[in-house]
């Protein structure tokens, strides 16, 4: 079953930052007739195409700044030639570090970005596109020991921020209005704003857990659906909000932190991590049905063997499989040295579809049919190729759509 069927899907496709230099001068092929697009493309409503993602991050040291507007202009020209300019909107998702202030009303874009932001917002306004921003109160909490935990969520706070006559009780509203103020300073006070990414991880850091993630995401949903808006935009909630993310990403870079692999509201096997009401009456998230799991068996360290020389095996297993939950703040932190070894062995064993050779480790392991999970630390059982095939089918159609839209195959971007 197509997961997008019968839903009013607004899809945001992405062009990689590394494609910028090619797209500045290349004509982008967008002339495939609609009847030849895959079924998924025909069902999409009001598509956004993201030109990169967070190209103005301070960590990029300005390397993409000069490519953003020329790329937008070139792609917009291609959309017009394909008669898609009215239905497909180009956007540039920005990180919240593109603007700054001590108080929301003082919001301004970083000085070195003022000119490029003025050009960007002018383009967006002219072409009917919204300003897309990614807001992560969790990262503010993670990055500062002084950041009030209750201010990061929507459950009320003992640390409100007073800004003139306005009082902010959550970081999301404060961040959003800082952007509103920044847009106002360059002459676009009414610019529509879309939240391109917002969410809360469930593992990999001290404040990343199921209860905190549910509280934040449910609070966010309730806040947006209430139509209360923010102090600087009362009664005007964000135009669209994209929760990040659908599933955990076990191979994602953990350079920002181990939590990066645990943003999903569903686990890898399509099971809802926690109850979440998206505003469809009393309906909550539903688990994926008919998931085909591998046999209930686990690869663990043999307690009768000498494990003193296991470091290389452990490192090898965790270089391929995801072991981030074993680190400080993780659900499985604290299960002991033997528990850590067993978790690593089992993770690679399941990832490799329980291949017998993946549970070797020079004989210091064994396969058990007794679930070795400890408390809330869950030792996983993988899913079959058939279950993955259903996901790949949908993913392949999305990739195919991207290729049709952008004609990037010849650029070697994908």
Structural domains of the chain, ranges and CATH numbers in brackets: 12-287+391-411 (3.20.20.80), 298-382 (no CATH)
Say whether 61 is catalytic. Answer: no
Of these residues, 155, 197, 320, 376, which one is catalytic?
197
Please answer whether residues 241 and 198 qualify as being in contact, where contact means their C-beta atoms are separated by less than 8 angstroms: yes
Please answer whether residues 364 and 345 qualify as being in contact, where contact means their C-beta atoms are separated by less than 8 angstroms: no
Summarize pLDDT for 251-288 with one digit per residue, the tens. 999 999 999 999 999 999 999 999 999 988 889 999 99
Residue 390 has pLDDT above 90, yes or no: no
Of these residues, 35, 54, 260, 376, which one is catalytic?
54
| Per-residue model confidence (pLDDT) at position 14 | 61
pLDDT category of residue 395 using cuts at 50, 70 and 90? very low
Say whether 249 is catalytic. Answer: no
Mean pLDDT of 189-199: 97
Residue 28 has pLDDT above 50, yes or no: no
Please answer whether residues 305 and 363 qualify as being in contact, where contact means their C-beta atoms are separated by less than 8 angstroms: yes
Residue 34 has pLDDT above 90, yes or no: no
Residue 27 has pLDDT above 60, yes or no: no
| Per-residue model confidence (pLDDT) at position 19 | 54
Summarize pLDDT for 308-350 with one digit per residue, the tens. 999 999 999 999 999 999 999 999 999 999 999 999 999 999 9
């Amino acid at each position: 079953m197509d997961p997008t069927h019968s839903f009013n899907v607004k899809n945001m496709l992405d062009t990689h930052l590394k494609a910028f230099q090619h797209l500045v001068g290349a004509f982008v092929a967008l002339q495939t007739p609609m009847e030849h697009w895959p079924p998924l493309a025909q069902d999409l409503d009001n598509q956004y195409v993201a030109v990169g993602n967070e190209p103005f991050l301070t960590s990029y040291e300005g390397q993409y700044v000069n490519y953003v507007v020329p790329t937008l202009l070139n792609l917009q020209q291609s959309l017009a030639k394909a008669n898609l300019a009215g239905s497909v909107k180009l956007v540039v998702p920005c990180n919240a570090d593109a603007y700054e202030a001590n108080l929301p009303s003082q919001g301004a874009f970083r000085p070195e970005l003022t000119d490029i932001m003025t050009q960007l917002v002018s383009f967006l306004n002219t072409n009917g596109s919204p300003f897309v921003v990614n807001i992560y109160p969790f990262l503010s909490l993670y990055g500062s020991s002084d950041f009030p935990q209750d201010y990061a969520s929507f459950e009320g706070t003992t640390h409100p921020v007073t800004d003139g006559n306005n009082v902010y009780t959550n970081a999301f509203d404060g961040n959003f209005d800082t952007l509103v103020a920044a847009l106002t300073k360059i002459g676009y006070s009414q610019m529509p704003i879309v939240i391109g990414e917002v969410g809360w991880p469930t593992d990999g850091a001290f404040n990343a857990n199921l209860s905190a993630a549910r509280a934040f995401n449910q609070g966010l949903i309730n806040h947006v659906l209430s139509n209360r808006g923010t102090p600087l935009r009362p009664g005007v909630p964000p135009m669209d909000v994209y929760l990040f993310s659908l599933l955990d990403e076990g191979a994602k870079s953990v350079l920002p932190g181990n939590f990066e692999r645990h943003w999903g509201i569903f686990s890898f096997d399509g099971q809802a991590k926690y109850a979440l009401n998206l505003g469809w009456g009393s309906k909550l998230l539903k688990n994926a049905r008919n998931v085909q799991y591998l046999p209930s068996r686990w690869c663990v360290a043999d307690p009768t063997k000498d494990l003193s020389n296991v470091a290389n095996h452990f490192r090898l297993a965790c270089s391929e499989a995801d072991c981030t939950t074993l680190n400080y703040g993780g659900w499985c932190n604290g299960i002991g040295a033997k528990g850590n070894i067993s978790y690593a062995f089992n993770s690679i064993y399941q990832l490799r579809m329980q291949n017998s050779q993946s549970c070797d480790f020079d004989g210091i392991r064994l396969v058990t049919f007794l679930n070795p999970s400890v408390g809330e630390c869950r030792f996983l059982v993988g899913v079959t190729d058939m279950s993955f095939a259903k996901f790949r089918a949908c993913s392949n159609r999305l990739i195919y759509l991207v290729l049709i839209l952008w004609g990037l195959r010849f650029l070697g971007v994908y």
